[in-house]
Amino acid sequence: MKQSEFLNVVMPFKDKLYRLAKRLLVSTEEAEDATQEILLKLWSKNDRMKQYASVEAFAMTMTKNFCLDRLKSKQANNLKLVHSNYTDSNASLQRQVEAQDSVNWVEKIMESLPEQQKMALQLRDVEQYSFEEIGKMLEMTPAAVRVALSRARKTVRQKLMEKHNYGIA
């Protein structure tokens, strides 16, 4: 496979790889590094790429495994970069600030979820994959994906409600 062909295959989903990596690793820099690593790995395997039923699903699985390894490794524990680069929108309206704040809450809440639920939520509610696709990517059955997703959504709702009520009280 030539470089241009490879790019045509990979470009449509590279952002999805990056977003999944960022969801798991939280830090922008680490997610960028991970994405680059995955793309280079894919490129080095490019002669075998036609054998895979779905390159996208395969790449997603690679990203998942890579990031989970990263999280497990001591290296990641030693230099955990905490994501703090929230966008400073200079919003003058109080309401706008508040809205932005609670949107960021969702991100924080998602950070606190277990990895599997995090990924299920990311792949479904952000990337809109089907349960079958997510199952393939996460190496789970579609039914298990459904359960994880339901739990994740309910947790997010519950924590969001708590935050809201806390803000009022």
Binding site for other proteins (CB under 8 A): 3, 6-7, 10, 14-15, 17-19, 22, 32, 35-36, 39-40, 43-44, 99, 102-107, 122, 124-128, 130, 146-147, 149-150, 153-154, 156-157, 160-161, 164
By beta-carbon proximity to other proteins, the closer residue of 25 and 149 is: 149
As given in the structure block, the two tokens for residue 150 are: 């339901």
Q: Using CA atoms, how far apart are residues 117 and 123, in angstroms rounded to an integer?
A: 10
Distances 37 to 62, 72, 157 between C-alpha atoms, Å: 10, 17, 34
CB of 99 to other proteins, least distance (A): 7
CB of 74 to other proteins, least distance (A): 26
At 73, is the secondary structure helix, strand, or coil? coil
CB of 31 to other proteins, least distance (A): 8
